[in-house]
Amino acid sequence: MPTIAHAVGTEARVLVAVPAYNEQATIAAVVEQIRTAVPEFDLLVVNDASSDDTAALLARLQVTTATHLANLGYGRAVQTAIKYAHRSRYDVLITLDADGQHDPADIRRVFDAFAAGRFDLMIGSRFVQSHDYGSEPRVRRFGMRLFSALLALLAGQRIYDTSSGLNVIHARVFEPLSRRPFVDFHAESLVYLIKAGYLVGECPVAVAPRRHGASMHTPINWVKYPLKVTFLIVLNVIEAHLFKRGEA
C-alpha cells in the first residue's frame, strides 16, 4: 500500500503536548524534564479541568496551558492538543502523558526515528522489543493482545503498543485526527490511519510504573472501553472499504 509520508526538515516547528488531569504530584517534574530534554521544542499542557493544584503549579511553571472549563476526558484533551498544533501550524506534535511513566529523555529518540523513517505517526512503544505484556495487569494484557491482533487482522500491520501515551504525529494527520470521532486515539485511530495509507511505526521506549494518581481504566471502563474501541475499529474498516483514501 502506498504511503503518504512526508519528510520532517531540521527547521520543523515541534510542539510537545501533555494532557493532564489531577496530576499535581508529577506535572512539575514532567514539565521540567521535557524542558531539559528538548529545550528547542514548544510545550503545551492541556489541563482537563483538574480539581487539584495542577492549574496553580502550571501557572507557577509559566508553561503555555490550554485549560478545559469542564472535564472532557483523555481523548478530547489529546484532540485539543491536535487542534492547537494544527491551528498554530506546527509541523510535528509529540504527545506525552503527565503521569511521569514515560521518560521525557525518550522524546528525542522517538522523534529522530520518526524523522528518519518519514513516518506520519511514530508510537513510543513499550512492547515492540520484548513482545511481552507480562508487566501489565491481566485485564489490560488481554485488551492489548486483542487490539494488537485486531489491527494485524484488519489493518494488515502488527502494532504491539496500541495505547501508548508517547506519540509523534506529523502535521499531515492533524486534520483527519481532529475532525473524526475517536475514543482515546488508541487502536481505533491507528486502524483509521493505516487503512488510509499513512505510515505508522513503533520505537521502543521504557516505561516506569505509575507512582501517583489513578489510571483512567476503572473497572467499568474495562467493559466500556473495548466495546467502544472495537465499534470504531469496525466502523473505520467498513468506511475504508466504502470510500477511497482521501475522501473519508
Partner 1 sequence: MNLGGTATVWTLSIVLIAWLFDLVRRDRLYVGYGVIFVSAIIAGVVTIAVPSVLLAVGRWWAGVLPASGFLELVMLFVVVLLIYVFSQLTLFSSRVTQLIQELAIRDAAASRSGPPSPPR
Q: What is the rounded CA–CA span in Å between residue 24 and residue 60?
A: 12
Q: What is the rounded CA–CA span in Å between residue 40 and residue 230?
A: 38
Using the contact rule CB under 8 A, the part of the chain among 99-107, 111-119, 123-131, 177-185 near partner 1 is 177-185
Interface residue with partner 1, options 16, 27, 34, 44 (CB under 8 A): 44
Instruction: Report how far apart, in Å, the C-alpha atoms of 104 and of each of 6, 11, 185, 239 are.
Output: 25, 21, 20, 36
Provide the phi-psi class of 43: left if phi over 0, else alpha when psi is between -120 and 50, else beta: beta
Residue 81, number of CB atoms within 10 A of its CB: 27
Interface residue with partner 1, options 83, 109, 140, 217 (CB under 8 A): 83
Nearest to residue 64, comparing CAs of 79, 76, 78, 81?
81
Task: Determine the 3-state secondary structure of 143 from DSSP.
Answer: helix
User: Site map for partner 1, 3-32, x if CB under 8 A?
Assistant: --------x-x-------------------
Please say which residue, 4 or 235, places its beta carbon nearer to partner 1.
Answer: 235
- In three state form, how does the secondary structure of 52-75 look? CCHHHHHHHHCCEEEECCCCCCHH
Bridge partners of residue 201, in order along the sequence: 122
Interface residue with partner 1, options 24, 33, 50, 80 (CB under 8 A): 80
CB of 111 to partner 1, least distance (A): 16
Would you count residue 67 as binding partner 1 (CB under 8 A)? yes
Interface residue with partner 1, options 21, 84, 127, 185 (CB under 8 A): 84
Interface residue with partner 1, options 2, 7, 10, 70 (CB under 8 A): 70
Would you count residue 241 as binding partner 1 (CB under 8 A)? no
What's the first-to-final CA gap in the chain, in angstroms?
A: 17
CB of 62 to partner 1, least distance (A): 5
Using the contact rule CB under 8 A, the part of the chain among 22-30, 66-74, 110-118, 213-221 near partner 1 is 66-74
Bridge partners of residue 47, in order along the sequence: 20, 67
Would you count residue 235 as binding partner 1 (CB under 8 A)? yes
Please say which residue, 158 or 224, places its beta carbon nearer to partner 1.
Answer: 224
- Write out the residues near partner 1 by the rule CB under 8 A: 11, 13, 42, 44, 46, 62-70, 72, 76, 79-80, 83-84, 87-89, 91, 179-181, 183, 224, 227-228, 231-232, 235, 238-239
